[in-house]
Homo-oligomer: A and B are copies of this chain.
Amino acid sequence: MLFSTATGYALRALAALPEDGSFCLAKDLSASLELPGPYLAKILQGLVQAEILESVRGPKGGFRLLRPSHRITVGEVVIALEGPNSMDGCIMGFPTCGGDHPCPLHEAWGAVKAQVATSMTEATIRDLQLMDLRHQKDAKDRPPCEKP
């Protein structure tokens, strides 16, 4: 996979969050997505600091999206988790690879990076919501956060 597992967990969690402004518990998210709970909690905290999520603690608290899901791009989440320069650099890690000393994969990889970058800035969390990210055996279960 191109991104870290933490980034994948973050994207899955964001896609599972409801869009109506109701709060969702980290525990319910991890249970619904079958992700390690404490690790996901730590990732969610990072998304709070990146001003993608909002958190409230105490009863009736939890996490919720700070913006509507179609205003959060996949690229934004990747940058929040992996830094702004994660896609820079040579595909093989050659320090001398550059415009004047290109490696054999430089051009192909450059085109690829541009295409992926474009796709990432165009795709939003709303696009992710359209696919069912839970495992098949749990697809029939209730959504992570039910309304009253």
How many residues belonging to A are interface residues under a CB distance threshold of 8 Å? 41
- The prevalent SS among residues of A at the interface is loop
Copies in the complex: 2
* Among all A-B residue pairs, the 6 with the closest Cβ atoms: A8-B93, A104-B123, A104-B127, A108-B119, A1-B93, A112-B112
Give A103-142 interface residues, CB cut-off 8 Å to B.
103-105, 108-109, 111-112, 115-116, 119-120, 123, 127-128, 131-136
| A89 at the B interface (CB under 8 A) | yes
What residues of chain A have their CB less than 8 Å away from a CB belonging to chain B? 1-3, 5, 7-9, 11-12, 74, 89-97, 101-105, 108-109, 111-112, 115-116, 119-120, 123, 127-128, 131-136
